[in-house]
């Protein structure tokens, strides 16, 4: 099965689901499979799922991982941006604290949507 991976700041403890922890010289990250579930019918979402060979089991695993992460998601995002602010390139992307707060809110909304474990037309919108 082909999977895509992403990194998400999860603090210093290994994740309870046994995901692989990788340190990129900054905050610790976790690599997991992207899992998606369709609402049914032949749609753009189902076409993408088929193209990337993503199964219903994959989707269930993402939702399961989400159940361990979502309660503390705001603090994970805050800690990631605290680390990011210390990086030399930070000012190139964020000119003021208001823009950081807007991006943090967008990040939270995205990860909450992702960890539903559901790829449907709403997810793709």
At 82-101, the pLDDT tens digits run: 999 999 999 888 888 899 99
Share of the chain above pLDDT 90, in %: 47
According to the model, what pLDDT value does residue 42 have? Answer: 60
Residue 36 has pLDDT above 80, yes or no: no
Distance in angstroms (rounded) separating the CA atoms of residues 55 and 48 = 11
Closest CA to 8 of 93, 110, 92: 110
According to the model, what pLDDT value does residue 100 have? Answer: 93
pLDDT mean across residues, the chain: 74
Residue 29 has pLDDT above 60, yes or no: no
Distance, C-alpha 118 to centroid of its chain: 13
Residue 4 has pLDDT above 60, yes or no: no
pTM of the model: 0.60
Distance in angstroms (rounded) separating the CA atoms of residues 91 and 82 = 13
Residue range 56-60: mean pLDDT, rounded:
93
Q: Which residue has the tokens 């193209």?
A: 51
Q: For residue 37, count CB atoms less than 10 angstroms from its CB and return exposed for 0-12, middle for 13-18, buried for 19 or more.
A: buried
Residue 21 has pLDDT above 60, yes or no: no
Q: Which fold has domain 5-124?
A: Globin-like (1.10.490)
DSSP state string for 110-122 = HHHHHTTT--SHH
């Amino acid at each position: 099965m082909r999977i895509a991976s992403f990194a998400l700041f999860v603090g210093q403890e290994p994740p309870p689901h046994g995901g692989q922890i990788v340190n990129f010289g900054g905050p610790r990250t976790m690599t997991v499979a992207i899992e998606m579930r369709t609402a049914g019918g032949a749609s753009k979402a189902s076409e993408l799922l088929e193209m990337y060979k993503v199964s219903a089991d994959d989707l269930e695993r993402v939702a399961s991982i989400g159940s361990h992460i979502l309660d503390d998601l705001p603090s994970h995002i805050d800690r990631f941006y605290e680390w990011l602010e210390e990086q030399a390139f930070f000012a190139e992307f964020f000119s003021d604290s208001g823009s950081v707060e807007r991006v943090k809110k967008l990040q939270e909304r995205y990860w909450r949507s992702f960890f539903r474990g559901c790829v449907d037309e709403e997810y793709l919108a």
